[in-house]
Every structure is written in structure tokens, then in C-alpha cells.
Amino acid sequence: MPPGVPAWLGVVMGGMGLVTTWVAFPIIVAVLRWWLKRGGRWDGQGDLFNLVAASWLVADTLGAGLTALGVPPLLTLPLWLYSVWVGAQAIEGAIPQASLGYCIAGIAIGLLPAIVAAGSMFALVGVLMVVTGLVPGGAGA
């Protein structure tokens, strides 16, 4: 956290990161479910949630841990891209009618509303903290 920011704000932001993960992940899975059913590529049988969670777990956890330790986001970008690749490979292996490119496109499409939802949550919390006076900001700051 930048100097002059209360220490408890780091805990709040860490908690928000966890909450946004639990908001964004089901959004991505829902979009993937819709995307893979298009054109009869997938019949909806099987647990897509567990497949995606298992394939992303290691790379995403490592990326989040490195980010929490202060590693610049640009250096962790390869881990996030790798998790997309591994997820697409897992989906392609489980759903033979879905090509690797189609799976990557589905993940990318799912990331768009997930990013909007996560950004909206952070913006809302930020506005609430400024309005309630928990952090300095707003007019004249």
C-alpha cells in the first residue's frame, strides 16, 4: 500500500480480491457453459465448474501469491496467460468437439463480464470508503 494509507486498508483490499475471485469465477464458468453449448459442441453433461477450477488452481494461486508479495503485474502476466492455456487444454480434452482456439475464445469472452463485475465491486467499495470518510479523497484532497 502507498505511504499514508491506513494499514487496515490492505486487509480490506486483500478481502476484496478474494471476493472478486468468487464473483468472477462463476461468471466465467456460466459464459463458458453457454459458449460450449453453441453449435452442439457440448451436451451440458459433466461438471464444468470443477474442471475449470482444477485446471486453473495452481497457476492462478501462484500468480495471486506473487502479486500479493509485490511482484509487478507485468511479471506475473505469463502465469495468468498460462492458466488460460491450461484451462483451454483441459476443456478441449474433456469436450472433443471444442477446439483449442474455441476454448480460448470462450475463456476470453467470459473474462470480459468478470472484469467488469470485479472492477465495479472495487469502484463501489472505493466510493463508499471515500464517502464515509474511511480514506482521504474526494473534493479538496
Which contiguous run of DSSP H or E holds residue 31? helix 8-37
CA distance 91 to 99: 9
Per-residue pLDDT of the chain in tens (141 residues, 90 and over written 9): 566 666 777 677 777 777 887 888 899 999 999 999 998 899 988 899 999 999 888 888 888 778 778 788 889 889 889 989 999 999 999 998 999 999 999 999 999 999 999 889 888 887 887 787 766 665 444
Burial class of 82 by CB neighbour count within 10 A (0 to 12, 13 to 18, 19+): middle
pTM given for the model: 0.79
